Amino acid sequence: MTKPRYTDLVLSLPATVPFVGPETQERARGAAFAARLGANESVFGPSPQAVAAIAKSASEAWMYGDPEVWELREAIATHHGVRAANVVVGEGIDGLLGYLVRLLIGPGDAVVTSDGAYPTFNYHVAGFGGALHKVPYRGDHEDPEALLAKAREVDAKLVYVANPDNPMGSWHDAATVQAMIDALPEGCVLALDEAYADTAPANAIPPLDMTHPRVIRLRTFSKAYGLAGLRVGYALAEPDFIAAFNRIRHHFGLGRVAQAGALAALADQDHLQATVARIAAARDKIAAIARDNGLTPLPSATNFVTVDCGRDGAFARAVLAGLVGQGVFVRMPFTAPQDRCIRISAGTDADLALLAKALPRALAEAGSR
Amino acid sequence: MTKPRYTDLVLSLPATVPFVGPETQERARGAAFAARLGANESVFGPSPQAVAAIAKSASEAWMYGDPEVWELREAIATHHGVRAANVVVGEGIDGLLGYLVRLLIGPGDAVVTSDGAYPTFNYHVAGFGGALHKVPYRGDHEDPEALLAKAREVDAKLVYVANPDNPMGSWHDAATVQAMIDALPEGCVLALDEAYADTAPANAIPPLDMTHPRVIRLRTFSKAYGLAGLRVGYALAEPDFIAAFNRIRHHFGLGRVAQAGALAALADQDHLQATVARIAAARDKIAAIARDNGLTPLPSATNFVTVDCGRDGAFARAVLAGLVGQGVFVRMPFTAPQDRCIRISAGTDADLALLAKALPRALAEAGSR
């Protein structure tokens, strides 16, 4: 019997995934990781109020979530001083990026990103047949001028930039990002991924101007808020742009439990600030551990530290393998020359003690290959 | 400044939603519903073990869910006597239908469904530019022969049928569905929506043959399992078909909390069977209330009863408005002649007491318009 008749686009797609999960690695190695420092989750956990709200909502889990996500959108709007009409909530930034690409990109449409930036964005662009154009990082930073120059050159409908950046942890100041917004070519949308806004210096985040018709800001509860396991992200933009998501989004995609947890987390800004302080302290500890081992921690505005291993990608991959082999889950940039680095998420003191113990051996083994 | 350059397809889409949520209606009327009987949720709630698992997972909500959904897929496979390679888990059947349509349907590709069947399926087909062909119901049942005839006529890549059916509650026996599978045209996929399989008679569900390359069976935790608020559904099909979802699905779309809740719900088959019994009793009560008011309850294999109001769509809409106005949330079929009916989900005794109280007044007001 014949196979399903997949679209030509689907037939052209590789059966790869943007990220292999730590659970997959755990199943392969037959043991759980002792320290989970690879996915930029928040080991410091969500607000106790969010934990309580999730537990409370469990008995209400027989009801679908509000498809308008009204209460959470209102709360997000109040929190940021914008209107609910400026807010769309979705299944994490990943889900929202998928919708955004689908709104704008058909086969052959030009999209610009940095070479080595977020793989899941690239996955979505490929998934809708977009033509992805990449520009290099510049000194471990995404390069706004090069991104815009490429966008003009290829008449891009969409350009992606993360500030602060993943996987490098670097950031631009608000003036630089605002200059990028101001110079955005006509007809080009800027997807400004601010997943790490909560851990960034205040002067890295430009004002939330909701009047520009082609700038969309992406935020998440998966990082500093510690709710990756609920999958709630949101985007902020001009109301017409936000309304366009209603044409294609999965209206009942955000469950009642997830909405309740995110709402409680947003209300507990004390916990967020305490977490941000713990993240900052953990960054300092990771940096110290790196230096103690002769490596160079890069400055970070995120909940992770990217550590320059000082040699090539093969060496860094060997260091990473040595850490993973000792039960310390970390990841690394995929693309040269950033792949000379490994990326270590903020951890508890116990996590970082394991890192400190495992790193010398990983380096020794990598160096003696 | 210019607007974003949406795709031509997106520009062609209406800014409508498949369903208005009860919360939207509650905000509009300024009061909560006293009985929530419109969305075919399970008022009897999820398993206490699922509630406990959700609460327990809340403190682990800082971790992303396993993108392979390994443990839940293994458990589903064991439950059904198939292999994990036959199972894809997603963000409810809605989410999986979106992926399925995206896999198969590009602009102009032919799709077949019943006129008045699941609006969210139609929403997805429109969203990917498919050409939707509808055939009428036949005696309040979906019509397998007409669906297949239309599929052959238009060379459909995809045909949708729900068994048991929503919104009519009707069902076909397994032999009829198997005959439809056996007669499926080459090149056509059958999406067999079995959201209500758990409440159906055993002889309504054909064997789970996982060898057909173009049949996909859709199941959910949102109905009898009482976990609509988690948004977990799954599909069962031949492994190559399942693997195709990995090319486009949102790999991290299913959160850790949702996976934990669904896993615990699946393990508590006693609760499921107790719920199914309560649903059956509630169906009988709804039928009795309908008869007491001179209306005709249709036979149902689902967790709702579709009640024939005996006149035209305008009358049924007025009855529905009368119930909603008295705080009883119900819905109704959108399409004539099924729109002579209203659709009432299984409720608690308290819910159904409210229904019994509200229905006479709703009928009186509708009759005297």
Domain with B37 in it: what CATH number?
3.90.1150.10
Dihedral of alpha carbons A259, A261, A264, A267, sign = negative
Domain boundary among B268, B302, B334: B268
**Using a CB cutoff of 8 Å and minimum separation of 24, what contacts does B294-298 make?**
B294/B363, B295/B363, B298/B140, B298/B168, B298/B169, B298/B170, B298/B341
Residues B110, B58, single domain; the answer is yes
The yes-or-no verdict on residue B369 having pLDDT over 90 is: no
Domain boundary among A244, A268, A292: A268
Tell me the pLDDT tens digit for each residue of B57-80: 999 999 999 999 999 999 999 999
Tell me the pLDDT tens digit for each residue of B10-35: 999 987 777 889 999 999 999 999 99
| Inter-chain CB proximity A103 and B258 less than 8 Å | no
Beta strands in B195-286 (DSSP E): 215-220, 233-236
Chain A residues within 8 A of B66 when measuring between CB atoms: 21, 23-24
CA dist A326 and A361 (Å) reads 9
Q: What is the CATH number of the domain that holds B157?
A: 3.40.640.10
Residues A180, A108, single domain; the answer is yes
Residues B164, B298, single domain; the answer is no
- Report if residue A1 sits inside a domain: no
Query: Average per-residue pLDDT in chain A?
Result: 97
Give me the count of residues in chain A. Answer: 369
What is the structure's pLDDT at A81? 98
- Report if residue B185 sits inside a domain: yes
Nearest to A4 among B55, B66, B104 (CB): B104
What is the structure's pLDDT at A1? 83
Residues A218, A340, single domain; the answer is no
- Report if residue B81 sits inside a domain: yes
CB atoms near residue A364 (< 10 Å)? 12
Residues B157, B233, single domain; the answer is yes
Tell me the pLDDT tens digit for each residue of A218-267: 999 999 999 999 999 999 999 999 999 999 999 999 999 999 999 999 99
What is the structure's pLDDT at A49? 98
Average pLDDT over residues A349-364: 98
Chain A residues within 8 A of B88 when measuring between CB atoms: none
Domain boundary among A225, A248, A268: A268
What is the structure's pLDDT at A37? 98
- Report if residue B1 sits inside a domain: no
- Report if residue B3 sits inside a domain: no
| Residue A80 to chain B, least CA–CA distance (Å) | 23
| Inter-chain CB proximity B157 and A229 less than 8 Å | no
Residues A52, A153, single domain; the answer is yes
The yes-or-no verdict on residue B135 having pLDDT over 80 is: yes
Residues A286, A350, single domain; the answer is yes
Of A272, A338, A265, A344, nearest to A303 (Cα)?
A344
Give the chain A residue nearest B36 (alpha carbons).
A63
Dihedral of alpha carbons B249, B254, B260, B266, sign = negative
The yes-or-no verdict on residue B330 having pLDDT over 80 is: yes
Residues B205, B344, single domain; the answer is no
| Inter-chain CB proximity B19 and A212 less than 8 Å | no
Residues A95, A22, single domain; the answer is no
0.85 surpassed by complex ipTM:
yes
Determine contact, residues A327/A295, Cβ cutoff 8 Å: no
Residues B228, B304, single domain; the answer is no
B174: confidence class by pLDDT, cuts 50, 70, 90: very high
Domain limits for position B316: 8-45+270-367
Count: domains in chain B: 2
- Report if residue B211 sits inside a domain: yes
Q: Copy the structure tokens of residue B295.
A: 């209306």
Residues A259, A351, single domain; the answer is no
Most A CBs within 10 Å, among B257, B279, B348, to test the A interface: B257
- Report if residue A356 sits inside a domain: yes
Of A191, A117, A118, A92, nearest to B252 (Cα)?
A92
Tell me the pLDDT tens digit for each residue of B240-267: 999 999 999 999 999 999 999 999 999 9
Tell me the pLDDT tens digit for each residue of A75-114: 999 999 999 999 999 999 999 999 999 999 999 999 999 9
| Inter-chain CB proximity A231 and B254 less than 8 Å | yes
Query: Average per-residue pLDDT in chain B?
Result: 97
- Report if residue A357 sits inside a domain: yes
Residues B230, B113, single domain; the answer is yes
